Chain A
Amino acid sequence: IAGITQAPTSQILAAGRRMTLRCTQDMRHNAMYWYRQDLGLGLRLIHYSNTAGTTGKGEVPDGYSVSRANTDDFPLTLASAVPSQTSVYFCASSVLAGNEQFFGPGTRLTVL
């Protein structure tokens, strides 16, 4: 692994289903983030984690949850997907909270 990886690359999901987007980094960065990117709205922060064991809500947290059990992994869960959660999801990390962020390749999620 080099940098940040995300899985899956893309997914089509039926509304109401549960889905976990995976994010792993091997840079030993303390802070990690989840964004969604929608046309005309730019990147919006969903949840963040300043360090392993802590999480916080971003700009658009409703319908999403995260956990940070260790430094490397930061999964994002949609408990019951809705069509408005159709988006491209980016995971990012930074050495410390507030430093420049390095982004993963993204997951394209379609909820029907």
Chain B
Amino acid sequence: EDKVVQSPLSLVVHEGDTVTLNCSYEVTNFRSLLWYKQEKKAPTFLFMLTSSGIEKKSGRLSSILDKKELFSILNITATQTGDSAVYLCAVRPTGNQFYFGTGTSLTVIP
């Protein structure tokens, strides 16, 4: 059965800290892994990863995939209160469906 596990479940940090969020997966015939940020309402797309070892970067956020060890990490440096959200990881195996993890809830304290 396809499975996506995110850790930690929740995290509380102070502004300026660096955080690392983890996403491990077990899927048949991996195609891609996506990261989303969910604040009050709809998830918003952050990154799509398909190849191992290639870092995707956007401002203070970056992500990398390890297809051998079956995981991805999302790093946020110099965190700000606006980074407070639930971060979701989703994996696409063969086919067009994505399987989502339950998310990591990040709270950044001023």
Contacts and interface: CB of A to CB of B under 8 A. Distances in A.
B34 A105 contact: no
Interface in B64-110: 88, 90, 92, 96-103
B100 A42 contact: yes
Contacts of B103: 42
Interface residues of B, number: 20
For the residues of B in contact with A, the DSSP-based class is: strand
Contacts of A45: 97-99
Nearest to A31: B96
Contacts of A43: 43, 88, 90, 100
A74 interface: no
Interface string A41-60: 11111001010000010110
Interface of A: 31, 35, 40-45, 48, 50, 56, 58-59, 90, 97-98, 100-106
7 closest A-B pairs (Cβ-Cβ)? A97-B96, A103-B42, A43-B100, A42-B102, A42-B100, A100-B45, A105-B41
